Amino acid sequence: MKHRLELFSDAVMAIVITIMVLDLHTPATGGWHAFTPILPAIGIYSIGFSMIGLCWLTHHRYFAKMEIFNRKMVWSNFFFLFVVSLLPLLVRNLADHPGDEADTEALILWNFFTVVSVTLFRFSSYRDNIDQPGFREWFKSANRRALFFIYPMLLAQVGLACVWPRVGLGMFVIYTLWVVSWPQ
């Protein structure tokens, strides 16, 4: 079941990236200057692409640590994929309305729910995988990281996005780049 679930998840994430890139519109005219109006959309797409990359990397790391899969893990993985599949809608909406506070807040809330879904997946794996080599240490480390860094950072992003959406979005980008750079 592990292999099939991993392949299915990889396919969903590849489709999400494809949908996002197909939603980018070409410039109306030729030349370098024609790209200026679509630069915000490309910037938002790059944020979305980075987020999918982070989701894939996290998913890959989790699957590498787990050997036994139960029904709770399968359903929490489906919840994770559902949340991930909403990203093209949010990216398109933010690209269409780059300064809109609600669209910025929606993207940051999406990030929060993505982390919640990953946390559900991690906790659903505990009982069946606790005896796997290295799992207990990894589980403790992942929980400490979530408790002391990820969740406080997410709450700060949500709070800042309500007051200063661009600052919240900047913190979102910094968070994404920082998390991607973490070692295994």
Residue whose C-alpha is closest to residue 77's, from 51, 91, 58, 53 = 58
pLDDT of residue 102: 86
Chain segment 100-123, per-residue pLDDT in tens: 888 888 888 898 899 899 889 988
* Domain extent listing, the chain: 2-180
3-state secondary structure of 99: coil
Chain segment 150-171, per-residue pLDDT in tens: 888 888 888 888 888 778 878 8
> What is this structure's pTM?
0.84
What's the chain's average pLDDT? 86
DSSP 128-153: HHTTSTTHHHHHHHHHHHIIIIIHHH
CB 56 within 8 A of CB 77: no
